[in-house]
Amino acid sequence: MATATAYGARDHARAQEGARVEAMPTVPASAWPEETPGQVVWAEVVGGGNYTHRVLARGTELRLTDLRGDACAHLLLYADGRPWERLNTADTVKVRWNAYLREGAQLLSDQGRVLATLVADTSGRHDTLCGTSALARNRRRYGAGEPESDSPAGRELLKLAALKNGLEPRDLPPSLSFFQGVEVREDGALEFTGTAGAGGSVTLRAEQDLTVLIANVPHPLDPRPAYVSTPLEVLAWRSGPTRPGDPLWDASPEGRRAYANTTDFLASRGIA
Q: Looking at the predicted structure, is the pLDDT value of residue 34 above 90?
A: no
pLDDT band at 1 (very low <50, low <70, confident <90, very high): low
Q: Looking at the predicted structure, is the pLDDT value of residue 166 above 90?
A: yes
Span 256-261, average pLDDT: 96
Neighbours of 249 (CB within 10 A): 19
Q: Looking at the predicted structure, is the pLDDT value of residue 131 above 90?
A: yes
| Mean pLDDT for all residues in the chain | 94
User: What are the DSSP E strand ranges found in the chain?
Assistant: 40-46, 50-56, 61-66, 73-79, 82-86, 106-108, 114-121, 126-127, 176-178, 181-184, 190-194, 201-206, 210-216, 232-237
Q: Are 118 and 203 in contact (CB under 8 A)?
A: yes
Span 40-64, average pLDDT: 98
Q: For position 35, what pLDDT does the model report?
A: 84
Instruction: Give pTM, 2 decimals.
Output: 0.94
